[in-house]
Amino acid sequence: MSSRVELINAGLLRSDGRRPYELRTISINFGAQGTADGSVTYSHGLTQVRVSVQGPHEAKPGTRRETFHDRATLNVEVQLAPFGVGERRRRGRGDKRLLELAATIKSTFEPVVQTHLYPRSTIDIFIHVLQLDGGLLPACINASTLALATAGIPLFDFVCAISGGVHGTQPLLDLTTVEENDVPSVVVGVMPRTGRATLVQMETRLHMDRFEDVFRVACDAGKVLWSEMRDALRERTGDLVDKLEAGPGMVAVKETEET
Amino acid sequence: MLSFISFSSQHTDSTYHRSTRHHPDVEDLMDVDDDDFSGSEPKLTCPGETITSSQAFMRGHGTYVDKEDVIASVVGTVERVNKLVTVRAIRTRYNPEVGDLVVGRITEVQPRRWKVDANSRQDAILMLSSVNLPGGVQRRKLESDELQMRNFFEEGDLLVAEVQAFFSDGAMSLHTRSLKYGKLRNGQLVTVPPILVRRLKSHFISLPCGVDLILGLNGYIWVSKQAKDNDQGEEGFDAEAVYSNQNDDIDNATRAAISRVGNIIRVFADHFVPLTDTLLLEAYEWVIEQEGDAKYLLLGDTGDALVAAMSIRG
């Protein structure tokens, strides 16, 4: 390896002290964001994204031609905060890289969201990347899954995505920017119920013999992420249900129903 | 939340167990068969979780069938009516039903119809034939009416209406054919999650503090100055007054009361408390006792204290 940074040291630890299959800390925050129907702030290590989902709602007048009479359309917009990236550069709406990212996220979710239930509607997914340290696409996808679920939009399944790579012959999981720059990487998005992959993306060349190892370990990691995401969602839903059932309002509702 | 989950090859077994735990529906099926299924503890599900077998149960909203299983598609609580299993999402857009009272905002004026944003998955439609027109309650719609549609409702106008019917694609049709319905003025709109507005005997609430409330089932709530009684008789349908865009004079005390009630509703929405007339009334009395300005309600502490006080009362 020509890298100046030692990606894996003699003790099999990576540059940030993780073992090869170790994931970074995840934190999920369901705080409300304005008028969004579903919103989440998702941090994965030093990568932080904020997703708000609006809809399903009527298509805006200009985009009405793109709607379908038998299903909803997904509209994904990604914005990268200039201060959140290594290279400080303002990226406009037409930035090729961001458009491609949005298109990837859109095609990942199209088979997962039950769009046929909402004919002629639009579902907007707005993604703001606040900090970036590798794993941009997986973070966006995981956060979008959670935001769609909190917006009450029917999904066939979760999508849990994670990046993987190979250093020498050693598969790695959850790459940071430093690692992404040096090792061949692959992004895998799995639907944990069936174990199917909805997304496999490679932007670098990876040896065929190594691919299977990375793919398998990434699929397993997806299931670990799934249990985390599910627990967070359950906790939040349980909290809301408790408030709804046990709060002062419900007593009053019952009183009025009795009289 | 999760600190450094590590797993190497020998952990693969445990992850495998995690995924298989939900696959055979033996334990889940027992839950549904349980008699006190609709008991105190609501059952939560997430998308992709197997609820029960599709041979013994029918799938309802929020579920789908894959092979032999009924699987949840939204996050929420499982509900069962006889053999029908549904999952009710806790936060979602408004699902209209015929007869519901809604508050909406005009988004578009089209030939012989208005489009109305009513917090639903599509804009609602208000036909020219389902509004009251000036000069007699029942009369034919003329071409001249069609040309002056903007005199009745313009883009951005707020109105209260009833759900009349559905179109084939699921869009709702509204009507304002009652003296109770029509254009809204003299107040402010507060938006809450639709689940917090339950079906009540009357959605028009008059608070004794000089404030009228319209609780739209779509989560749009109109807080306004109390309308004078009998300003429109049985016969005298006053088109001038109904379609007027001009606010009445509102004195400072009423303005303060309106914003106080508005802020109470916002606090309740933040704490996810379902709204009823008695609750709002008692909350208003509590706020008056505290002698604070309306804006202090929106500070976290005061809001928490309000909800706590209401809980103790319950």
Q: What is the pLDDT of residues A129-182, one digit of tens each?
A: 999 998 999 999 999 999 999 999 999 999 999 999 999 889 999 999 999 988
| pLDDT the model gives residue B35 | 40
- Say if residue B71 is in the same domain as residue B105: no
Is B274 touching A (CB cutoff 8 A)? yes
Count: domains in chain B: 2
Q: What pLDDT, in 10s, does the model give residues B147-181? A: 888 988 999 999 999 999 999 888 999 999 888 89
Chain B interface disruption, residue of A253, A254, A258, A259, most B CBs within 10 A: A253
Residue B83 falls within a domain, yes or no?
A: yes
- Say if residue B176 is in the same domain as residue B257: yes
| Whether B273 and A243 lie within 8 Å, measured CB to CB | yes
Q: What is the ipTM of this complex?
A: 0.85
Residue B95 falls within a domain, yes or no?
A: no
Q: What pLDDT, in 10s, does the model give residues A8-67? A: 888 889 988 999 999 999 999 998 787 889 999 999 999 999 999 998 999 887 777 778
Query: Domain ends where: B36, B60, B89?
Result: B89
Q: What pLDDT, in 10s, does the model give residues B33-85? A: 444 444 456 789 999 999 988 898 999 999 999 988 999 999 999 999 989 99
CB < 8 Å to B314, chain A: 248, 250-252
- Say if residue B67 is in the same domain as residue B135: no
Closest B-chain CA to A59: B122
| pLDDT the model gives residue B138 | 64
The span from the CA of B112 to the CA of B72, in Å, is 41
Calculated CA dihedral for residues B294, B295, B296, B298, nearest 10 degrees: 110
| pLDDT the model gives residue A154 | 95
Query: Given a cut of 60, is residue A258 above it in pLDDT?
Result: no
Count: domains in chain A: 1
Residue A18 falls within a domain, yes or no?
A: no
Average pLDDT score, chain B: 81
Instruction: Tell me the nearest-neighbour CA distance from A163 into chain B, angstroms.
Output: 15
Query: Given a cut of 60, is residue B137 above it in pLDDT?
Result: no
Which of B208, B202, B310 shows the shortest CA–CA distance to B265?
A: B310
Residue A247 falls within a domain, yes or no?
A: no
Residue B59's domain spans which residues? 14-89
| Whether A149 and B307 lie within 8 Å, measured CB to CB | no
| pLDDT the model gives residue B30 | 39
- Say if residue B219 is in the same domain as residue B128: yes
- Say if residue B64 is in the same domain as residue B27: yes
Q: What pLDDT, in 10s, does the model give residues A80-115? A: 988 888 788 777 777 899 999 999 999 999 999 999
Is A256 touching B (CB cutoff 8 A)? yes
Domain of B187, CATH number, reads 2.40.50.140
| Whether B77 and A57 lie within 8 Å, measured CB to CB | no
- Say if residue B40 is in the same domain as residue B151: no
The span from the CA of B30 to the CA of B33, in Å, is 5
Chain B neighbours among A 90-149 (CB < 8 Å)?
114, 118-121, 149
Query: Domain ends where: B37, B57, B89?
Result: B89
Query: Given a cut of 50, is residue A75 above it in pLDDT?
Result: yes
Query: Given a cut of 60, is residue B17 above it in pLDDT?
Result: no
Residue B2 falls within a domain, yes or no?
A: no
Q: Which residue from A25, A114, A220 is facing B73, i.e. has the nearest CB?
A: A114
Query: Domain ends where: B89, B110, B134?
Result: B89
The span from the CA of B46 to the CA of A229, in Å, is 10
- Say if residue B195 is in the same domain as residue B139: yes
Residue A207's domain spans which residues? 26-58+72-242
- The one-character DSSP state at A15 is T
- Residue B31's pLDDT band, with cuts at 50, 70 and 90, is very low
| pLDDT the model gives residue B67 | 86
Asked if the bond preceding A56 is cis, omega within 30° of 0, the reply is yes
The span from the CA of B199 to the CA of B203, in Å, is 8
- Say if residue B84 is in the same domain as residue B105: no
| Whether B93 and A233 lie within 8 Å, measured CB to CB | no
Residue A154 falls within a domain, yes or no?
A: yes
Q: What pLDDT, in 10s, does the model give residues B266-294? A: 999 988 999 988 888 899 999 888 877 88
| pLDDT the model gives residue B6 | 37
| pLDDT the model gives residue A72 | 92
Average pLDDT score, chain A: 89
Residue A180 falls within a domain, yes or no?
A: yes
Residue A235 falls within a domain, yes or no?
A: yes
User: Whose structure tokens read 């008699």?
Assistant: B35
| pLDDT the model gives residue A157 | 94
- Say if residue B206 is in the same domain as residue B139: yes
Chain A neighbours among B 164-223 (CB < 8 Å)?
169-171, 191, 195-196, 198, 200-201
- Residue A249's pLDDT band, with cuts at 50, 70 and 90, is low
- Say if residue B66 is in the same domain as residue B207: no
Residue A254 falls within a domain, yes or no?
A: no
Q: Which residue from B44, B92, B314 is facing A152, i.e. has the nearest CB?
A: B92
* Stronger pLDDT, B6 or B181, i.e. the higher one: B181
Instruction: Tell me the nearest-neighbour CA distance from B90 into chain A, angstroms.
Output: 7
At residue A241, the 3 state secondary structure works out as helix
Backbone angles phi, psi at B277, to 5 degrees: -65, -40
* Stronger pLDDT, B143 or A47, i.e. the higher one: A47
- Say if residue B66 is in the same domain as residue B182: no
CB < 8 Å to B271, chain A: 243, 247
| pLDDT the model gives residue A252 | 57
Q: What pLDDT, in 10s, does the model give residues B74-120? A: 999 999 998 999 999 988 999 999 999 999 999 999 999 999 999 99
Among left, alpha and beta (phi > 0; psi -120 to 50; other), residue B10 is: alpha
| pLDDT the model gives residue A117 | 92
Q: What is the mean predicted confidence (pLDDT) over B129-157?
A: 81
**β-strands B69-72, B50-53 pairing:** antiparallel
CB < 8 Å to A55, chain B: 93, 121
Residue A36 falls within a domain, yes or no?
A: yes
- The one-character DSSP state at A99 is H
Chain A neighbours among B 245-264 (CB < 8 Å)?
none
* Stronger pLDDT, B146 or B115, i.e. the higher one: B115
CB < 8 Å to A27, chain B: 1-2
Return the H-helix or E-strand segment holding B225. strand B220-225
Residue B3 falls within a domain, yes or no?
A: no
The span from the CA of A178 to the CA of A133, in Å, is 8
Query: Given a cut of 50, is residue A222 above it in pLDDT?
Result: yes
- Say if residue B223 is in the same domain as residue B83: no
| pLDDT the model gives residue A257 | 57
Query: Given a cut of 60, is residue B18 above it in pLDDT?
Result: no
Instruction: Tell me the nearest-neighbour CA distance from B121 into chain A, angstroms.
Output: 4
* Token reading at A215: 């793919």
| pLDDT the model gives residue B302 | 85
Residue A149 falls within a domain, yes or no?
A: yes
Residues 6 or more apart in contact with residue B130 via CB below 8 angstroms: B164, B173, B174, B175, B176, B177
Domain of A155, CATH number, reads 3.30.230.70
- The CA-based angle B103-B106-B107, given to 5 degrees, is 130
| pLDDT the model gives residue B188 | 94
